[in-house]
Amino acid sequence: MGIWKRTGIWSARSWRPYADALSRIKSRQREIESWSGERIRRYSLELRYLSRSDAAADVSMTEAYALVCEAARRAIGMEPYDVQIAAALALGAGKLTEMQTGEGKTLAAALAVYWRALSGRGVHVATFNDYLARRDAERLGPLYRYLGLSVGCVQEGMGAAERRLAYAADVTYLTAKEGGFDYLRDGLCLTKGSLVQRPYHFIVVDEADSILIDEARTPLVLAGEADAPQRDGARLAAVVGKLAAGIDYETDGGRRNVYLTDQGAMKAEALLGCGNLYAAGNELLLGELRDALHARALLRRDVDYIVRAGRVELIDPLTGRIAERRRWPDGLQNAVEVKEGLQPQRSGEILASITLRHWVGLYPRLCGMTATASSSTDEFAEAYGLQVAVIPARRPAARTDYPLVVYATKAAKLAALTKEIAALHAAGRPVLIGTSSVAESNGLAAALAASGVSCNVLNAGNEEREAAVIGQAGAVGAVTVSTNMAGRGVDIRLGAGDEEQAAAAARLGGLAVIGAGLHESMRIDNQLRGRAGRQGDPGSSVFYVSLEDELFARYSSSGAAAAGSWRQGLDGKLEGAGIRRRIEHLQRVADGQNREIRQTLNRYADMLEQQRHIVADRRRGLLEGRIAPAPLVLRDPDGYADLCARYGAMAVKRAETEYALLALDRCWADHLEYASVVREGIHFESTGVRDPLDVYERLLLAAFADFFDKAEDRAVRALLAVDRTKPDIGPEPAAFNMPSATWTYLINDRLLPHRHSFW
Ligand code: ADP
Ligand code: MG
């Protein structure tokens, strides 16, 4: 039981229960070792049969895990290490499992996945991107099939039939995004036969911190094709153009909010000729003004967004990459488009939406794995009720983490970085540099090229190519520049898989990871650090910052001006532990603020999600025939008789359900629209008197009170209004204003108003 004895990072108390289970699994595996393949398979099918036919029959974890261990050895040539079995036990117990990069989380998950999949109710594994879903399904496919289970994977661009097939498998690999959109589309189906997903059962979330924390508040949106109401963006942009920063409006330190001063409000009122901006009746105008000001004062081209082919495209603050199909809320999006002199883009009416956090919450059983969980223990517990289990590394870590290197200016930092990289490269050591944006990557690559170092740059390329490049980052002499999250989930082996090369790279000191700046979240920095020192390899990590970095601009009131107060070397390097402590403090401040924003946004989203859930439940009941629609015969006996005479009672009965479904969808889209108006409007309420969240909840509750009555009325009216010259009674979506086509996108609601932002 070697792994338990080593002193280290895991808590012995939380681990003791797993030690016994581990030894039971190992001894059971030794018994199974002598079995024929045929016998293992038959036994697995027996367990499957047992657990399918009797829901109460709980196949023991020991049995299931021992089978997978043996099958993995035979089918894919990998026998799970003790630490992997321990991780699998934690996953099976529904924990958020922290395991270092390269330790083998993919295989560890398979043990828990198999165990849960025996019930036949479908287990989902949410991976970081499509490429990894495909890769993991392919790698583990032989293992699951050896045990008689089927595997599927969902990919962007798949049609409904392919998706249905993938979801019908015992185990399905997919991204949270695909899974969530399929869920939303299923929520608009008019017949049971067109659903692609089965009811949820168990999900393992890989790279869980990314999905459960960083991406959690990203709403997936299903929209209909429609034109947005045209706003008079140009006029507002012109007014805002006349306001002066610091006098008419102020931004807060985090550059998150912009406030109109009294003077600014007066100036705007004069320019707009609208009387009191905050008076009733000016809500829309105030909203537009706020968007225009936000676009001008807070959003920067090439930092927050780029303009490409006449469109504004958002830059993901986490990855520094272009976020495909992501947009700001309509008003803000249009304001940015106006600011850039572009034609405002069409946007659709929102038909359905769910945040990734709530989508994950739909699974009765949830667990996750990542290399960086322990720094967010509280947040996992609070938002998901997940406990973190830390699995020790298989071999003791041999990575050296050097203290932060600080420079006064960006230029000095770049010069030092280049010099350091060139020196490491001259020695042949593989180097991986993490940056926060594509622009920064390109700048660094250019500086490196100028000093004769050629490097691989990973930027918004496709996932597969990215994986191939990052896979080579451990080769002797390789220099790789990559944005923060690029290539997450892909293993960096020293020597890129070649043993002799690996030994050479190890002698040189292993992979050198260099962060070109600190991220707002220490967790993200730790992800990068973890790239080095895989499975006990040697390696090192170091971060370079300058006082001109984004972190200071955002969170330090004194910013670069503070440089003078620190001891400075000739090359602009700032010495001493004091400055490092100060920077670490700033990072904690940033982390804390971001967390608070997430909590507030969560609270806004929770209210709507509760209502969505109620509607979705009822809709599902109608679709599956468990709930009967309001009988027309009671509402309007004559109309009912008339319809029956024309189309037959059977057809009318079917139509009752279909009309009821469409009416629910229509009413829900209206409710969503109302909610967004309210949410924006709350910030026009007189400042600070009432808690905006309270107001929001009250209004939403009131609007929801007669939701089902309204939907029923709507369905009945539409049914009675059927044009009797039509050959069949089936509903036309147009009768409900439902669009004939839908499209999907992600919203980054980082910029939605939060508790402190009203002005
Ligand atoms: P993680 O997701 O924890 O970063 P992966 O699941 O990608 O790690 O696995 C890292 C590498 O280790 C992969 O190349 C995988 O094939 C290998 N690996 C995992 N488990 C084992 C094992 N038990 N025996 C041998 N190789 C393994
Ligand atoms: Mg992984």
Amino acid at 159: G
Q: What percent of the chain has pLDDT over 90?
A: 49
User: Looking at domain 233-322, does it have CATH number 3.90.1440.10?
Assistant: yes
- Using N-to-C axis directions, what is the helix angle for 377-384 and 577-623, rounded to 10°? 20
Rounded-to-integer distance, Cα 734 and Cα 703, Å? 24
Rounded mean pLDDT, 705-723 = 92
| Residue having the nearest C-alpha atom to atom 13 of ligand 1 | 104
Nearest to 224 by CA among 188, 190, 175: 188
* pLDDT higher than 70, residue 753: no
**Residue 550 C-alpha to ligand 2 middle, in angstroms?**
30
Ligand nearest to the CA of 527: 1
| Residue having the nearest C-alpha atom to atom 23 of ligand 1 | 80
User: Looking at domain 593-728, does it have CATH number 3.40.50.2300?
Assistant: no
Report the pLDDT value the prediction gives residue 595, as an integer from 0 to 100.
86
| Residue having the nearest C-alpha atom to atom 25 of ligand 1 | 78
Query: What is the domain partition of the chain in residue ranges?
Result: 2-224+356-390, 233-322, 398-575, 593-728
516 CA to centre of own chain = 24
* pLDDT higher than 80, residue 361: yes
Contact 261, 249 (CB under 8 A): yes
* pLDDT higher than 80, residue 698: yes
pLDDT band at 465 (very low <50, low <70, confident <90, very high): confident
* pLDDT higher than 90, residue 417: yes
- CB neighbour list of residue 483: distance below 8 Å, 6 or more residues apart: 319, 320, 321, 434, 435, 436, 437, 438, 440, 441, 458, 459
DSSP 212: I
Q: With helix as H, strand as E and coil as C, how does 573-630 read?
A: EECCHHHHHHHHHHHHHHHHHHHHHHHHHHHHHHHHHHHHHHHHHHHHHHHCCCCCCC
Q: Which residues of 627-645 are buried (b: 16+ CB within 10 A; e: fewer)?
A: eebbebbebeeebbeebbe
**Residue 103 C-alpha to ligand 1 middle, in angstroms?**
6
Higher pLDDT, 32 or 350: 32
pLDDT band at 563 (very low <50, low <70, confident <90, very high): low
Ligand nearest to the CA of 208: 2
**Residue 136 C-alpha to ligand 2 middle, in angstroms?**
9
- Least confident range of 172-176, 596-600, 742-746: 742-746
Contact 469, 487 (CB under 8 A): yes
| Residue having the nearest C-alpha atom to atom 26 of ligand 1 | 78
If residue 30 lies in a helix (H) or strand (E), which one and from where to where?
A: helix 12-32
Contact 18, 86 (CB under 8 A): yes
- Least confident range of 58-72, 384-398, 474-488, 677-691: 677-691
**Residue 127 C-alpha to ligand 2 middle, in angstroms?**
8
Domains 2-224+356-390 and 233-322 equal at CATH topology level: no
Q: At 546, give phi and psi (nearest 5°).
A: -130, 155
Q: Number of C-alpha atoms within 13 angstroms, CB side, residue 177?
A: 17
Q: Which residues are annotated as a binding site?
A: 84, 102-106, 491
Mutate to test the pocket of ligand 1, among 74, 107, 205, 395 (most ligand atoms within 8 A of CB): 107
Q: What percent of the chain has pLDDT over 70?
A: 88
Report the pLDDT value the prediction gives residue 18, as an integer from 0 to 100.
82
Ligand 1, atom nearest to 72 Cα: 23
- Using N-to-C axis directions, what is the helix angle for 649-682 and 577-623, rounded to 10°? 160
Q: Token digits for 47?
A: 């367990």
Mutate to test the pocket of ligand 1, among 78, 129, 370 (most ligand atoms within 8 A of CB): 78
Ligand 1, atom nearest to 78 Cα: 24
pTM: 0.84
Nearest to 218 by CA among 372, 378, 379, 353: 353
**Residue 106 C-alpha to ligand 1 middle, in angstroms?**
7
Helix, coil or strand: residue 269: helix
| Residue having the nearest C-alpha atom to atom 20 of ligand 1 | 104
- CB neighbour list of residue 70: distance below 8 Å, 6 or more residues apart: 29, 32, 33, 35, 40
Rounded-to-integer distance, Cα 135 and Cα 490, Å? 10
**Residue 102 C-alpha to ligand 1 middle, in angstroms?**
6
| Residue having the nearest C-alpha atom to atom 15 of ligand 1 | 104
User: Which residues sit with their C-beta closer than 6 Å to ligand 1?
Assistant: 78-81, 84, 99, 101-107, 491
**Residue 368 C-alpha to ligand 2 middle, in angstroms?**
11
What's the CATH number for 2-224+356-390? 3.40.50.300
Rounded mean pLDDT, 195-217 = 93
Mutate to test the pocket of ligand 1, among 106, 111, 136, 485 (most ligand atoms within 8 A of CB): 106
Nearest to 29 by CA among 74, 73, 67, 77: 67
- CB count, 10 Å around CB of 504? 16
* pLDDT higher than 70, residue 86: yes
Nearest to 546 by CA among 400, 442, 417, 443: 417
**Residue 309 C-alpha to ligand 2 middle, in angstroms?**
35
- CB neighbour list of residue 339: distance below 8 Å, 6 or more residues apart: 237, 292, 295, 296, 299
Rounded-to-integer distance, Cα 527 and Cα 485, Å? 8
| Residue having the nearest C-alpha atom to atom 14 of ligand 1 | 491
Q: With helix as H, strand as E and coil as C, how does 370-428 read?
A: ECCCHHHHHHHHHHHCCCEEECCCCCCCEEEECCCEEECCHHHHHHHHHHHHHHHHHCC
Name the architecture of domain 398-575: 3-Layer(aba) Sandwich (3.40)
Rounded mean pLDDT, 242-266 = 82
User: Tens digit of pLDDT for each residue in 736-747?
Assistant: 777 666 666 665
